[in-house]
Structure 1
Amino acid sequence: MASVKVKPRRRLSLDNPPNMSRETPLRMLVFGDSSQDQISLTRSVLGQDVFTRDEVNISATKKNSGVVQERNITLVNAPNLQDNDLPDSILHKELRKAVCFSCPGPHAVVFVVDPFHLTSNTMDILKPMVHYFGECVLKHTLIVLYHERGMRTQSIEDEVKKNKSFRALAEKCSQNYLFFNGEVNWTEGNQTQALLTKVEKMVREQGMFSNMEFKDAEKRIQIEERFIKKSKEKEIRETLKALENQHSGEALASEILRYEEKIQLECREKAELVVADKLGFTLRLVDYAVAVGKGAFVGALLGFAVGYEGMAVGAAVGAGLGAALGGAANAVWSYIYKSFTDAH
């Protein structure tokens, strides 16, 4: 590695920042009542066509980043919950990708809706998200009422507030909602500014959204990052050596910093993809504690220390001790074995 030292940037804690620095990248996890609304909002905020013309339906999680108003912005579009009839296994896989792509946690979960098509089942669209992430995710959810009609926002807002379904939805999300006119935003950009300001306000009040799933994924991603970076050591050494031969002084320091940021981003994105394919054990354990009973579940975890056989024995003993809570040793072993097989 080169001997030139570059002053490291200060790492900011995002768990509950009192004031967000403009250097802090904003991560938003996006859901919607239609794929077109999600695509239109993403395009409007990032100011570029990140979706192809053929992409009219979001059925797979997609991550897009850009610099908007001097801020690094990342929008992670999860599969559209209205346009798709995805099997649970596929939906969970895509939601695991959404977790990895927005680690260590999104600053806001954005739910895009059409203010002119609010229906009684609008709230139902959020149910899979709430089921997967938990009820507390609603405190971090921002409802974005996206449209591109040449109407005064106030007249639209007055009409929307009369809608009983919207009032119930807004109440669930702590009255965090925002009207966004895509047509106006293309010429003025003030709608995006309002969106970023609203997200920053929510972060100051609630912090970013995180749970055990995000924390587990972040740890795995960091470990995977180190493996990937280690595999690139020779390439990195050769590139830094070439930079030393081409530059000196501040120019060298600047080039090294730019290169290190590029490598870090590449390793991070590769690690996210790798972990997204492997993630799922944490969620299964949570579901399983309910499915087979706490006695068997805890017993299996205690037996984990001595390997597969210990887990089976631990599950059997735990199931016996916690019979009142339910649980079957055979089910424990079958489930855990499948989980570890998938993980490997």
Structure 2
Amino acid sequence: MATVKGKTRRRESLDNPPNLSIESPLRMLVFGSSSRDQIALTQSVLGPDVLRDEVNISATKKSSGVVQGRNINLVNTPNLQDNDLPDSVLQKELKKAVCFSCPGPHAVVFVLDPFHLTSDTMDILKPVVHYFGESVLKHTLIVLYHERGLKTLSIEDEVKKNKSFRELAEKCGQNYLFFNEEMNRTEGSQTQALLAKVDEMVLEQGMYSNVEFKDAEKRIQKEERFIRKSKEKEIRETVKMLENEHSGEALASEIEKYDEKVQLECREKAELAVADKLGFTLRVVDYAVAVGKGAFVGALLGFAIGYDAMAVGAAIGAALGGVLGGAANAARSYISNSFADAHKGTA
């Protein structure tokens, strides 16, 4: 594998919480009670050019920028209030959110309008809790976003009277803050407060991760290595060009910048590639390795006939392929679980 000369310097300090170096991005996974508020918060933090053409967030979007000297990644998930997404589509988009925020978000941000809190506010987060698990609430920061030039204290008093909000705040460990857009435009203080709160949560809880994030990260790293290997010739040629144009410290600086650019490009391409494959494709490929090619081919033959024939096809294929021990049962269980959503869709 081609390597870029020069070494990326890692700058760690006691001012940075664990998992939060200056160079590594601060990752936030964003949900919300409305697409409008999600978009508005993202633009307030990263700048007005981000998500400019978006009105309704119906698919997972990753936005990045440098804010107050820090690399920030905001991954907006489909808005669960504005979109009535089928389970299969929602699951696919949440898997994309996992890939885009690997190896794990430092915080899960839940954007609410403090003037439109309802008794079913908690219901918006139920699919998130169902998918990621109850532990995700420990890493959830409630951001009460508003654009009115009102005193935060008066709004806070009103919000605390809302029983639904009090219950939600309790579940999230009282991690919430008010974000005044008007104040942020003039001072930038609200973004600073948001980042400080996330840093505080990371110190207490660490970044959020689970088995799915770890699995996705392994796949992304593998894909990243493959992509970088495919760019070996391009990398060598670019480094040679830089060596002809620069020398000494200037050369080292240019090579370091180029290396960081290549790393970022490879990472983003790898995330997209794995996000596209997560679900049916990767699980079936893994299954072919786990139970043998015979079972895999049998399953695909069964799929061509119909859902009910898939487990049978896998079992027969496993027997024909001479797979050792329990392959038929594994096939039946795997296929049933993997394609339950597909079966529901055709029922």
TM-score, normalised with respect to structure 2: 0.82
Q: 1:337 and 1:155, CA in 2 relative to 1: closer, same or farther beyond 3 A?
A: closer
How far did residue 153 of structure 1 move? 0.2
Q: State the partner residue of 2:336.
A: 335
Asked if 1 retains the 8 angstrom alpha-carbon contact of 2:10 and 2:23, the reply is no
Write the distance in 2 (CA, Å) between the matches of 1:255 and 1:58.
Answer: 38
Q: State the partner residue of 2:222.
A: 223
Write the distance in 1 (CA, Å) between the matches of 2:282 and 2:169.
Answer: 28
Q: Which runs of 5+ in 1 are unaligned?
A: 286-299, 321-327, 340-344
Q: State the partner residue of 2:37.
A: 37
How far did residue 55 of structure 1 move? 1.5
Count, aligned residues: 314
Asked if 1 retains the 8 angstrom alpha-carbon contact of 2:19 and 2:206, the reply is no
Match of 2:290 among 282, 285, 304: 304
How far did residue 9 of structure 1 move? 2.6
Write the distance in 1 (CA, Å) between the matches of 2:257 and 2:144.
Answer: 38
Q: 1:173 and 1:283, CA in 2 relative to 1: closer, same or farther beyond 3 A?
A: farther
Write the distance in 2 (CA, Å) between the matches of 1:275 and 1:94.
Answer: 12
Write the distance in 1 (CA, Å) between the matches of 2:44 and 2:136.
Answer: 25
Write the distance in 2 (CA, Å) between the matches of 1:48 and 1:131.
Answer: 33
Runs of 4+ residues over 3 Å off in structure 1? 1-5, 16-24, 281-285, 305-320, 328-331, 333-339
Write the distance in 2 (CA, Å) between the matches of 1:122 and 1:97.
Answer: 24
Root-mean-square deviation (Å)? 3.1
Give the alignment of 1:48-197 within 5 angstroms: 48-52=48-52, 54-197=53-196
Q: 1:11 and 1:223, CA in 2 relative to 1: closer, same or farther beyond 3 A?
A: farther
Q: 1:19 and 1:31, CA in 2 relative to 1: closer, same or farther beyond 3 A?
A: closer
Asked if 2 retains the 8 angstrom alpha-carbon contact of 1:316 and 1:329, the reply is no
Q: Percent identity?
A: 75
How far did residue 183 of structure 1 move? 1.1
Q: State the partner residue of 1:8.
A: 8
Asked if 1 retains the 8 angstrom alpha-carbon contact of 2:96 and 2:275, the reply is yes
Task: Report the 3-state secondary structure (helix = DSSP H, G, I; strand = E; otherwise coil) of the residue aligned with 1:210.
Answer: coil
Write the distance in 2 (CA, Å) between the matches of 1:262 and 1:242.
Answer: 16
Q: 1:212 and 1:146, CA in 2 relative to 1: closer, same or farther beyond 3 A?
A: same
1:258 aligns with 2:244: no
TM-score, normalised with respect to structure 1: 0.83
How far did residue 284 of structure 1 move? 7.5
How far did residue 6 of structure 1 move? 1.9
Q: 1:335 and 1:165, CA in 2 relative to 1: closer, same or farther beyond 3 A?
A: same
Write the distance in 2 (CA, Å) between the matches of 1:337 and 1:83.
Answer: 28
